[in-house]
Amino acid sequence: MNLERLLKDYLEHLEIEKNRSLKTVENYERYLKRFLEFTKVSSPKDISDDVVREFRLQLNRMRDRFDHTLKRQTQFYHLIALRNFLKYMAKRDIKTLAAEKIELGKVSQLQVEFLEGEEVNRLLSATSGNSLQNFRDRALLELLFSTGLRISELCSLNRESVNLARDEFSIRGKGQKIRVVFLSSEAKATLKTYLDKRADIEEPLFVSAPKGKKTQNSNPTRLTPRSIQRLIKKYSAAAGITKRVTPHTLRHSFGTDLLRSGADLRSVQALLGHSSITTTQRYTHVTDSVLRDIHKKYHGQTLKVKK
């Protein structure tokens, strides 16, 4: 069978049978189309060890318009997509290279970037003001830090998604999995203030702010991930935070704060919506200072010899 046709079938399989998000399907399509473009193979039987080795070399040597090479993690994603595509073909009894022939190797653990408590306070304080935009942005930041939501999850929220009579609500995350997240008292209060100030009846929870001297936006639109990234960048600069701050930085700050406060790893995994505990374990290295204090306080207490 033609590989391009098989690829189309596989992407539909991911979306329908595997219930993968559209973003995941788009990423797989990009990685696998790059494989077809680089290698020029047109049939499953043409995929061999040598073809894959050449693909890996091209990925490693590939440079973008800024003359930067592909990150190791990005190269890793290409190979994962290819392996899963090969497994799909094997299940359909199509002769091709065995997926197990592709060794992924070790990938260095991603660094978790997070804000310290004092930095979070400065970031929130940078939103001070009495405009509708100030109220919106404070509520948005408080919600991110209170729940650890992904930016896509935040953007998808509607007014009816968050019941302020309760301190919790459900969110549909990666892989269409539903989890419960919880509102801090600060997030609940700032959200209520923001919603009370809005005069529109639009469905989205976070919408564009009025421009110029207007106090209300007559035609507000749902905030996009890009617009939220820009506003966080603006407030982090205003707060004098030198490190790069993104929506995911606040998600990391949420997970780190929980672990430092004594939460167990499994609970943090559930609150963040990680499918694998391995992903959550990336946060453990930031709690070393807490572990050091515990070690000093408790280690060797029963072994001390009285003089």
Confidence (pLDDT) at 82: 96
Per-residue confidence (pLDDT) for residue 243, from 0 to 100: 87
Choose the final residue of a domain: 75, 101, 127: 101
Residue type, 175: G
User: Within this chain, do residues 167 and 261 fall inside the same structural domain, yes or no?
Assistant: yes
Residue scoring higher pLDDT (243 or 12):
12
pLDDT for res 107: 55
- Whether 154 and 222 share a structural domain: yes
Q: What is the mean pLDDT of the chain?
A: 87
- Which pLDDT value is given to residue 112? 72
pLDDT digits (tens, 9 = 90+) for 37-87: 999 999 999 999 999 999 999 999 988 777 888 888 889 999 999 999 999
Residues 162 and 262 in one domain: yes
pLDDT reported for residue 106: 64
The residue out of 101, 134, 154 marking a domain boundary is 101
The more confident residue out of 19 and 77 is 77
- How large is the average pLDDT for residues 284-302? 62
* Mean pLDDT value of segment 298-302: 61
- Rounded to an integer, the average pLDDT of 94-105 is 89
Residue with the larger pLDDT of the pair 76 and 105: 76
Q: Which of 72, 138, 139, 145 is nearest to 115 (CA)?
A: 145
Question: Are 138 and 271 in a shared domain?
Answer: yes
Query: What is the band of 262 on the pLDDT scale with cuts at 50, 70, 90?
Result: confident
Tell me which residue has tokens 């797989």: 28
Task: Count how many domains the chain has.
Answer: 2
Of residues 277 and 127, more confidently modeled:
127
The pLDDT assigned to 287 comes to 60
Identify which has the larger pLDDT, 105 or 204. Answer: 204
pLDDT of residue 166: 86
Q: Flag whether 52 is in a domain.
A: yes
Whether 236 is in a domain gets the answer yes
What does the alpha-carbon distance between residue 72 and residue 92 come to, in Å, rounded to a whole number?
31
Q: What is residue 1's predicted lDDT score, i.e. its pLDDT?
A: 75
List the domain range (segments joined by +) for residue 48: 3-101
Longest CA pairwise span in the chain (Å): 82
Question: Which is higher by pLDDT, 165 or 55?
Answer: 55
Mean pLDDT within 226-252: 93
Does 167 reside within a domain?
A: yes
pLDDT bracket for residue 110 (50, 70, 90): low
**Average pLDDT value for residue range 148-169:** 91
Please report the pLDDT score of residue 228 as a whole number: 95
Q: Rounded to whole angstroms, how far apart are CA atoms 192 and 197?
A: 9
Give the per-residue pLDDT at 307.
Answer: 44
pLDDT digits (tens, 9 = 90+) for 179-201: 999 999 999 999 999 999 999 99
Digit-coded pLDDT (tens) for 249-261: 999 999 888 888 8
| CB atoms near residue 85 (< 10 Å) | 24
Catalytic site positions: 150, 174, 248, 251, 274, 283
- pLDDT: which is higher, 204 or 291: 204
Within this chain, do residues 59 and 201 fall inside the same structural domain, yes or no?
no
Picking from 101, 136, 164, the residue at the C-terminal end of a domain is 101
Q: Do 131 and 182 belong to one domain?
A: yes
Of 121-125, 167-171, 215-219, the poorest mean pLDDT is in 215-219
Range from 23-37, 50-64, 105-119 carrying the lowest mean pLDDT: 105-119
Task: Say yes or no: 16 and 48 in one domain.
Answer: yes
Q: What is the mean pLDDT of residues 6-17?
A: 93
One domain, residues 85 and 122: no
* CATH, residue 25: 1.10.150
